[in-house]
Amino acid sequence: MPTARYPMERPQEPEYECVDIYKQPSLQHPKLQNHQIQMRPSDEVLAMLSGDTSANDEMVAEFDIPEEGCPQGQVPIHKPRNLNHTEKPLSLLMDMELLAAVMKKIDATPWRGASAWFSIYQPKLTNKDQFSMSFMWLNTEYNGERTNAQFGWAVIPALYGDDRTRLTAYWSPDKIENGCYNIQCKGFVQTDHRVALGTGFSNTSVVGGNQYKAFFAISQDPKTKNLWLTVQKINIGYWPEELLPFFNDGAESVIYGGFTNAPSDNIQLFEIVSPPMGNGNKPLDEEVDLKHTCYMHSLKYVTPDYKSVDVDSNKVAEVADAGICYDAIYFDKLGRYGQTFTFGGPGGYCDV
């Protein structure tokens, strides 16, 4: 497989514009004309998250943003260099070979949220049409239509115009092909004045060396039913309840793990080169120090009565749909890391 890293020219900062919080693009959505902004999650959500933000011994990843953020009353809106952020593009998941190494929920009880500490890496892509991501994915389905919400980090040159690891979300109100990344289609309401979807990480982990990680959470608010996104201790914003028609009872399906793609138009499957996932290494059964594998630890979910609890090993299963390229291993109560999931691999010709 090709090993050379695809050369990317990193755009000059700034990549953001500060806008009045009440005039941000998402509030132009027809269903949000009368929406009242929820400035912070309810106390119930904050209580759920309060015990989940201990970093253990690893270093907490930082963001490449100005310390002062936007002025009072304004929020940052990220502007992708390759796409007009006010236009709705076609889903970047369409017409691509999507591969996964994940841990998925297998019980029937709906979950109202999920959280975990993610290790932060920068997978080395080999061309600009690939992407590699580490995500939590919640979705629910009704009459053939699916509401889904995804959150984590990703390297997506086709979206961002560079190969940086960035805070990334994807959502769709009904069908996945109708969704979009971040705020490309109006919907996500930004509330934090510093960190926005699309923000780049200023440091990433090195295999066997310095380890950086970040806490991610998707939480349904019991009072408003808005779906909040939290990174570290920062509640960056939410998808309003008005745009999540099937989420009132929680998510039927929840997935934690890694996803990659390679373009599949007009070429044979055996010619498709998939990119690295995680840090480019497959996880090992004996890998317990977490310095050599991409991971998520302290995995928790939110119960139907809005309690944050550890993932139950009897309610999840590992799935890797391209074993020649990627693998996934789940550890039940890995010491101080709790419920831990490791995943990744080198990619290549995956023969699927």
pLDDT for the residue 54: 59
DSSP string, 37-88: P--S--HHHHHHHTTS---TTSEEP-BSS-SS-SPTTEEEEE--SSS-TTS-
Number of neighbours of residue 129 by Cβ within 10 angstroms? 16
Query: First and final CA of the chain: distance in angstroms?
Result: 16
d(CA 238, CA 27): 12
User: How far is it, in rounded angstroms, from Cα 260 to Cα 187?
Assistant: 25
pLDDT at 180: 87
Per-residue pLDDT, 9: 47
pLDDT for 82: 56
Q: Tens digit of pLDDT per residue, the chain (352 long)?
A: 344 444 444 445 568 899 999 999 999 999 998 999 999 999 999 998 887 555 556 689 999 888 888 999 999 998 866 554 334 344 554 445 689 999 999 999 999 999 999 999 999 998 888 999 999 999 988 777 788 999 999 999 988 989 999 999 999 887 777 788 998 888 999 999 999 999 999 999 999 999 999 999 999 999 999 999 999 999 999 999 999 878 888 999 999 999 998 776 555 555 778 999 999 999 987 767 788 999 999 999 999 999 999 999 999 999 998 889 999 999 998 888 999 999 999 999 887 6
User: What is the CB-side half-sphere exposure of residue 85 using CA atoms within 13 A?
Assistant: 21
Token duo for residue 6:
């695809």
* DSSP notation for 5-36: PPP-PPPPSP-EEEEEGGG-GGGGSGGGTTPP
| Stated length of the chain | 352
Tokens of residue 38, six digits: 């929820």
Residue 159's H or E segment, with its range, is helix 157-160
pLDDT for the residue numbered 8: 47
Structure tokens at 214: 């970040």
For residue 310, which amino acid is it? Answer: D
Contact status, residue 128 vs residue 106, Cβ threshold 8 Å: no
Burial of 71 (0-12, 13-18, 19+ CB in 10 A): exposed
Q: Say if strands 212-220 and 131-142 run parallel, antiparallel, or are unpaired.
A: unpaired
* Secondary structure E strands in the chain: 16-20, 59-60, 74-78, 96-105, 113-119, 131-142, 145-155, 166-172, 180-181, 189-190, 212-220, 227-231, 234-239, 253-263, 294-302, 308-310, 316-320, 327-331, 340-344
* Residues whose CB falls within 8 Å of the CB of residue 57, separated by 6 or more in sequence, listed in order: none
Count of C-beta atoms within a 10 Å radius of residue 6: 15
- Nearest to 279, CA basis, from 346, 195, 180, 202: 346
